[in-house]
């Protein structure tokens, strides 16, 4: 768009990624369309959810909501070709940044040995006057740090006792929904899969105020990003190279 720098093409010379998010449905607000593209190329993407989103539905108890949202996330992931979905059981709404969270994410990185880490916006804002939730910020920041923690044998040496050797193979961290995007992915042929993936979160969407239009939410964002990238539809990322 006029006045904004053109986004670069996100490198796709990799085979395996780990996508880390705070809640079920976080990855479905745009990122899933790119993931659908990547799995169609034969890449493997694993989902790691830090919480089960148990505090996300008013009028239902966390004990009821957690299993429900976990199942919705598994169905959602399947739509875009993701076969492995794991949960860490941190408490929804009160996720704390610190060594325990970094260790849990580093454990998953050592276990799955990805080349790419996909995370959600860790910045204070989504852009402009908006404000980002604490869970999103802390999980994103912890995942960035864990990408380096995973390769250092002297950080969290207890992971080696679990049989998990250091992994220095993460070469790129892709931050979705960042207000400071640097790269983009053409999702013209995959946006519909992303929309279908989001719609699998039926119980959560029904709890939102008003009538939520998944297509009406995702398509305009993809069109706007596409203008900056030179394609019809695109998803943006802020990329860090390690």
* pLDDT, mean of residues 155-182: 98
Q: Under 8 Å CB-to-CB from 36, ≥6 apart: which residues? A: 79, 80, 81, 187, 190, 193, 194, 197
pLDDT band for position 211 (cuts 50, 70, 90)? confident
- In this prediction, residue 156 carries a pLDDT of 98
- With a cut of 90, say whether residue 209 has pLDDT above it: no
* pLDDT, mean of residues 87-94: 97
**185 strand-pairing partners:** 235
Architecture of domain 8-241: 3-Layer(aba) Sandwich (3.40)
* pLDDT, mean of residues 81-101: 97
* pLDDT, mean of residues 124-153: 96
Cβ atoms of residues 197 and 77 within 8 Å: yes
pLDDT band for position 93 (cuts 50, 70, 90)? very high
- In this prediction, residue 187 carries a pLDDT of 98
- With a cut of 80, say whether residue 106 has pLDDT above it: yes
* pLDDT, mean of residues 41-48: 98
- In this prediction, residue 3 carries a pLDDT of 62
More confident residue, 23 or 212: 23
- With a cut of 90, say whether residue 123 has pLDDT above it: yes
For the chain, the structural domain boundaries read 8-241
- In this prediction, residue 77 carries a pLDDT of 98
- In this prediction, residue 149 carries a pLDDT of 98
* pLDDT, mean of residues 175-185: 98
Residue 111: how many CB atoms within 10 A of its CB? 18
- In this prediction, residue 115 carries a pLDDT of 98
- With a cut of 60, say whether residue 4 has pLDDT above it: yes
Q: Under 8 Å CB-to-CB from 29, ≥6 apart: which residues? A: 177, 198, 217, 218
- Inter-CA distances, 50 with 19, 64, 102, 152, 185, Å: 11, 18, 11, 22, 25
- In this prediction, residue 124 carries a pLDDT of 96
pTM: 0.96
Of the candidates 133, 125, 107, 94, the residue with the CA atom closest to the CA atom of residue 20:
107
């Amino acid at each position: 768009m006029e006045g904004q720098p053109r986004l670069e093409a996100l490198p796709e010379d990799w085979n395996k990624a780990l996508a880390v998010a705070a809640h079920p449905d976080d990855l479905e607000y745009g990122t899933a369309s790119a993931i659908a593209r990547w799995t169609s190329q034969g890449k493997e993407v694993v989902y790691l959810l830090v919480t089960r989103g148990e505090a996300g539905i008013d009028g239902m108890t966390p004990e009821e909501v957690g299993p429900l949202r976990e199942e919705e996330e598994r169905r959602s992931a399947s739509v875009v070709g993701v076969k492995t979905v794991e949960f860490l059981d941190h408490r929804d709404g009160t996720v704390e940044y610190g060594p325990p969270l970094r260790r849990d994410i580093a454990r998953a990185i050592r276990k799955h040995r990805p080349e790419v880490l996909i995370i959600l916006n860790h910045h204070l804002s989504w852009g402009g006057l908006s404000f980002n939730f604490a869970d999103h910020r802390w999980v994103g920041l912890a995942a960035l740090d864990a990408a380096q923690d995973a390769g250092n044998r002297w950080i969290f040496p207890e992971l080696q006792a679990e049989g998990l050797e250091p992994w220095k193979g993460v070469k790129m961290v892709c931050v979705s929904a960042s207000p400071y995007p640097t790269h983009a992915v053409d999702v013209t042929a995959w946006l519909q899969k992303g929309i279908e993936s989001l719609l699998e979160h039926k119980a959560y969407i029904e709890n939102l105020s008003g009538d939520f239009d998944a297509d009406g939410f995702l398509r305009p964002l993809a069109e706007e990003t596409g203008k900056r990238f030179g394609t019809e539809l695109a998803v943006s990322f802020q990329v860090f190279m390690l």
